Structure 1
Amino acid sequence: MKTDLHLLLECLKFQMGNPDSQKGALVTIYSICQDNSDACEYFREVGGLMFVSNLAKSCTHSIVKEASLFTLGVLAENNVYCQQTLCTLELFEDFCATLSKEDSSLNLKRMSVYVLLVLVSNNKCGQNLARESGCIDMLLLLFREILIKCNMHLSSKAPGELYQLWTSVCSALCACVNNPQNDENQKLCSSAFPQAKDWLQKYAQPEIARPICSLVGLTVANNSFAQGYFSSVGGLDAIAEVLIQLVADLQGNQSNSKFAVVMTKTLDACITDNAICVKRLSKHKITSSLIKLLSHETLDPADRFSIVLTLGHCTENCEANQYELLKSNGLPLMIQLLAESQDDELNKAATFVLQNCRQITERVFASVKQHSPDSKEGSPPDLMTATEKRIDEYWIKAKHMLHKIESLQRLHSKAS
C-alpha cells in the first residue's frame, strides 16, 4: 500500500501537463484510502495531502480540480489528522470563493460542498472556520437560491444536479450547527427560517421537506433563541399544519407515515424545554393527530418512541394538550405500550406521558364522580362524554402501572 501511494504521488507530480493521467492517479489514491485510515495517514505523512490540496487550488483543468477535491474529502473523512490538517482559514476561503463564482461548474460546487461537509463534521474548529470564512453565509445563500432556480415541482423523474447540490448544501449546514452543537452557527442559520417555513407550506413532499426538516430540527435543538424565532415566523404553525394533513391522509400509506414521523421529530425539536412554544402549539390540537399516527400499523419501535417522546413534550406543563390526549383515548394507548413493549426507552417515554397527565386525569376523574348519578348533586349523566367516563377505569390501571415502575426504579437504585 505504501509503495503504491508513493508511486501514485510521484505520478501526480510528474504528470502536471496530463490531466487524464492525474485524474487516473487521484481515482486510484482515493480508492486505496477509502475506509483505510492507515493509508490516509501515510499519504499525509509523505506530503501527499498537501500536494493534492495545492493541486485543487491551482489546477486549471476542471477534471483534475474536481478529482482533487473528492480525494481531499475521502482523506479527511477517513482520518481525523487529515481533517485537522486541512482545517485552515485559507482553504475555507477558497471554498467560499468557488461557491460564489457564477462560472464554477455545478460539479465543482458539489465537490467543494462535500469537502466542506467533511471538514465541519464532528469538528468544532471546522464549524468555526466555516462561520469566520463566510462559508455559512454562502451556503445559506445557495440554500435560498438553488431551489428557486430548480423550479422544484419534483415528479417521478430523477432529481437533477441542481437538486443534488441543494441537498448537499442542506447537509453541510446541518453539520455546521450540530455534533457538537454550535450556538453561534445555530443563530446564524436561523436566518433561513422564513424561507424554510414558506417552502414547507408550498412543497409538502418528502424530497424537499426532509432536508428542510433536518436543517430546522438541528438548528433549533437545545436552543431557545432559535426555537422562539422559528415559532415567531410561523414555522411551528407550518409544521403542525403539514403533520395534521399527513396524518389525515395516512390510509395505510407507509411512505406517508414515515414522512409524518420526520415531521414529528422536527416538531419535537422545536418545542422541547420550551413552554411558550408548547402553548402556541396547543391551538392546533396536534396531540390527537399524534395519537392517530401512533396507532398506525406500519411504524417500527424507533418511530413509536419518537412519537411518544413528542407527546411527552407536548403534554409537559400544558393542560390543553393533556386534556386533548385524554379525549383522544391516549391514556389506554400509553398503558398498552407499557404493558406490551420490551423497549426500555419507549417505556420511559410512555411513563413520561402518564406522569404529565396524572393531575389532570385525577381532576377529570373526580369531576366524573361528582356528576355521576350516584353523587349527591345527582347531575345528569349525559353531561360527561363516554370517553371521560372511561378515564377512571384507565387511570386506575395507569396508577397501578406507574406504581410498579416506581417500585422497580427503587429496587434498581438500591442494587446500584
Structure 2
Amino acid sequence: MLKEFALHALGALANSNVLCQQSLCTPELFDELMTFIVDEKTSVNSQTVSISVLLNLVSKNSAGQMLLRETGCIPVLQKLFRETLTKSEIDFFNASLKEKYFLWNAVCNTLAAAVNNPQNKENQTICSSILPHVQTLLEARIQAEIIHPLCLLIGLTVAGNTPVKEFFISMGGLDVLADIFTNLAEDSRQNMPSAKMAVSVTCVMGLCIAQNQQNLILLLKNNGLKLIIDSFSASHNEIVGIIVSVVLQNCTIWAEQFLDKLLAYVSNEVSEMENQGRALGHLKKTKETLTKEQFKREEDEEQGPKTESVVGDSLQKDSDQEKALPKQCSELGAQIYHPSANDELESQLESPGGVVTAPEDERRAQQPPKEEQH
C-alpha cells in the first residue's frame, strides 16, 4: 500500500511539472515499474497505478516514448491489452470486471500516448500488431466505455503512417468502423451518448482515410458526406449542433485533401499524356498529312480538272496588255500627227494650182498647236 502511495505521488509530479517528468525518465525507473507490473503477486490495482505512472512519463515526451520501447515495456503492455479484456467478457460486462476495466483503460491510454503527440513511427509500427484484437473488441457490444478508448488508440496509431493505415484497412477495420457508425447514427437522435460515440468514430474514420485517394473517392461516390450530415442535422439540440460543426469541419478537411490528391492525379496524367504525345508525335503528324491528302484528292475528283492556273495566266496576260496599251497609243499618235517626209511632199504637190504657198514648217508654225490624242 505504501508503494502505491509513492507511485501516485510520482505520477502526479510527472503530470504537473515538465522538469519532474524529465528527471523521472530514467531506464532504472522504467525497469522497476515493469518488474512490479509483471510480478504475479502484484494486485490489479497496483498494476493500474504503475501503468498510470508510465502514462504520465511518456505523454507529450519523445524521450519517454523512446525509453518505453528500449526497456521492453511495449510488449508487456500489449500482452496486458490482449489478456485483460476479451470479447466474451465485454459481451457480459458486469460490476466484477470494473477493476480489470480500469487496468485495460490505463494500458490503452498509455499505448496511445506512446505512438503519438509527438508522432513516433517506430512505436506506431510496433503497436500496429494489436490492431486485429482492437477490431475484435469493436465487433463486440457497443459501449461508450469501450468505443472511446479504442477510437483514441486506433486514431493515434494510424495517424500520419500510411503502412499502418493500409494494414488496418486491409484487415477490414474501416468496414467495422463504418458499420458501428451506421448503427450509432440511427440511435443518435434519441440517445446523446450514441451521438458522442458516433463523433468519435467519424474522427477515427477521418484519420484512416486521410491522404488516401481510393477511400476518399468511395466516400464521395457513396454519398457518405450527405449521410454524415443528415444524421445529425435534424436535431436542434445545442450539443448536437456542436457535433455537426465538428463533422462539417472534418468534411472540409476531407474535401480539401481529396482536391489536392485529385489535382496531383490530373497533373500526373497530363504529364504522362504529354510524354506519350511527344513519343507518338511523328506518327500523328504523318497520319494527319495522309488524311488531308486523301481528303483533298477526293475533293478534286468531285470538282473535275483544275482551271485555276489557265484562268490566272489569261488574267495576267490581259493585265499586261492593259499596261502596254497607253504606250502603243502614244506611238500611234506620234505616227498620225507627225507624217513622214514623203507624205509632206505629196501634200504639197497636190495643193491647188500646184503652187506651194508656204513651207510645211512655216505653215505649222502659223497654225495653233493641236493636242495629242491617245
TM-score class, shorter: 0.5 to 0.7
What's the counterpart of residue 261 of structure 1?
Answer: 199
Q: Larger C-alpha radius of gyration, 1 or 2?
A: 2
Change (3 A) 1:79 1:313: closer
Q: How does 1:147-158 map to 2 (within 5 A)?
A: 147-148=85-86, 151-153=89-91, 157=95
2:9 is equivalent to residue 64 of structure 1: no
2:114 is equivalent to residue 176 of structure 1: yes
Whether contact under 8 Å (2:138, 2:176) holds in the other structure is yes
Whether contact under 8 Å (1:203, 1:209) holds in the other structure is no
Q: Which residue of 209, 212, 237 corresponds with 2:175? A: 237
TM-superposed deviation, 1:289 = 2.7
Q: Which residue of 26, 33, 50 corresponds with 1:88? A: 26
2:155 is equivalent to residue 220 of structure 1: no
**Aligned amino acid, residue 183 of structure 1:** K
Secondary structure at 1:202 match in 2: coil
Secondary structure at 1:122 match in 2: coil
Q: How does 1:288-303 map to 2 (within 5 A)?
A: 288-297=226-235, 298=237, 299-300=239-240, 302-303=242-243
Q: Which residue of 306, 313, 333 corresponds with 2:246? A: 306
Q: How does 1:320-331 map to 2 (within 5 A)?
A: none
Secondary structure at 1:151 match in 2: helix
What's the counterpart of residue 12 of structure 2?
Answer: 74
Q: Unpaired runs of 5+ in structure 1?
A: 1-62, 320-351, 357-416
Whether contact under 8 Å (1:240, 1:284) holds in the other structure is no
TM-superposed deviation, 1:293 = 2.5
1:219-238 Cα shifts (integer Å, max 9, x gaps) = 11122122111111111111
2:41 is equivalent to residue 110 of structure 1: no
Change (3 A) 1:168 1:283: farther
2:157 is equivalent to residue 198 of structure 1: no
What's the counterpart of residue 141 of structure 1?
Answer: 79
Among all aligned residue pairs of Structure 1 and Structure 2, give the percentage whose two residues are the same amino acid.
Answer: 38
Change (3 A) 1:186 1:301: farther
What's the counterpart of residue 98 of structure 2?
Answer: 160
1:313-358 Cα shifts (integer Å, max 9, x gaps) = 5555769xxxxxxxxxxxxxxxxxxxxxxxxxxxxxxxx9xx99xx
Q: How does 1:248-287 map to 2 (within 5 A)?
A: 248-279=186-217, 286-287=224-225
Deviates more, 1:105-114 or 1:141-150: 141-150
Whether contact under 8 Å (1:240, 1:286) holds in the other structure is no
| RMSD of aligned Cα (Å) | 2.7
1:2-38 Cα shifts (integer Å, max 9, x gaps) = xxxxxxxxxxxxxxxxxxxxxxxxxxxxxxxxxxxxx
TM-superposed deviation, 1:163 = 0.4
Secondary structure at 2:142 match in 1: coil
Whether contact under 8 Å (2:159, 2:208) holds in the other structure is yes
Structure having greater relative contact order (Cα 8 Å, sep ≥ 6): 2
Whether contact under 8 Å (1:122, 1:179) holds in the other structure is yes
Whether contact under 8 Å (1:221, 1:269) holds in the other structure is yes
**Aligned amino acid, residue 125 of structure 1:** A
Whether contact under 8 Å (1:139, 1:169) holds in the other structure is yes
Cα distance in 2 for residues equivalent to 1:222 and 1:309: 19
1:152-196 Cα shifts (integer Å, max 9, x gaps) = 236575861100111111111111112111111111111111111
